[in-house]
Amino acid sequence: MSVLVGKKAPKFTAEAVINGGEFVDNFSLEQYIGKKHVVFFFYPLDFTFVCPTELIAFQDKLAEFEKRNVAVVGCSIDSKFSHWAWLNTELKNGGIKGVKYPIVSDLSKTISENYDVLAGEYDYSDEGEMQFRGAPVAYRGLFLIDKQGIVRHQIVNDLPLGRSTDEVLRMVDALQFFEENGEVCPADWHKGKEAMKATAEGVANYLSKH
């Protein structure tokens, strides 16, 4: 598994569905460079079980992300037509109707491969036939990307393990606090709590109070 933290987020141009039902042929995260932080997350498949709970959770917190000038973007290996159908299916029927942030189609699996979250890999059998070993879907990867296009935080969960939107917001707050104030955020830091200077004295002062 690659560690992309500190590196430029892999670029891509792909089909996507935005605003809950509009097709876009050339969606790219480049549109946010210099303007917004980005939470770019992968999920395994449309019309599954854990996945809708995550996508709806991000929608429920979308106003909080937007308040922080953060774009939320989802991605799976499904087609744009599958995304559209899922977005137009009621929640009571297993859909995600009401989700408004962009959902990218990674039908070729190249985006998942470039972010190194594909839950398997292509290989050759003893007979020389190409085959896929593992699950041909993305792990639950999430990448926090700053306005310069640099990955500042990543987390990758196995397929059965849903993520915490509150933790993602906490990491956004921590990054933005550091960018604005220059102070670093200690363990279990939350917005409004004391941070510290990145010096031996700063650490000592902080620990003496906690």
Query: Do residues 115 and 5 make contact, with C-beta atoms less than 8 angstroms apart?
Result: no
Q: Residue 1: what pLDDT?
A: 64
When the candidates are 1.10.150.20, 3.40.50.1820, 3.40.30.10, 3.100.10.10, the CATH number that belongs to 14-161 is 3.40.30.10
Question: What residues does each domain of the chain span?
Answer: 14-161, 164-210
> Where in 22-62 does DSSP place strands (E)?
22-27, 37-42
Is 116 buried (19+), middle (13-18) or exposed (0-12) by CB count in 10 A?
middle
Q: Residue 54: what pLDDT?
A: 98
Query: Do residues 97 and 91 make contact, with C-beta atoms less than 8 angstroms apart?
Result: yes
> Where in the chain does DSSP place strands (E)?
14-18, 22-27, 37-42, 70-76, 103-105, 118-124, 130-138, 140-145, 151-157
pTM of the model: 0.94
Smallest CA-to-CA distance from 113 within 14, 30, 194 is with: 14
Q: Which element (helix H / strand E) includes 1? A: none
Where in the sequence numbering do the catalytic residues fall? 51
DSSP string of 133-174, one letter each residue: EEEEEE-EEEEEE-TTSBEEEEEEE-TT----HHHHHHHHHH
Mean pLDDT split into 10-residue runs, the chain, 210 residues: 93 98 97 98 96 97 98 98 98 96 97 95 80 90 98 97 97 96 92 89 79
Query: Do residues 59 and 99 make contact, with C-beta atoms less than 8 angstroms apart?
Result: yes
Phi and psi at residue 196, to the nearest 5°: -155, 160
Q: Which two tokens stand for residue 138?
A: 């993305």
Q: Residue 24: what pLDDT?
A: 98
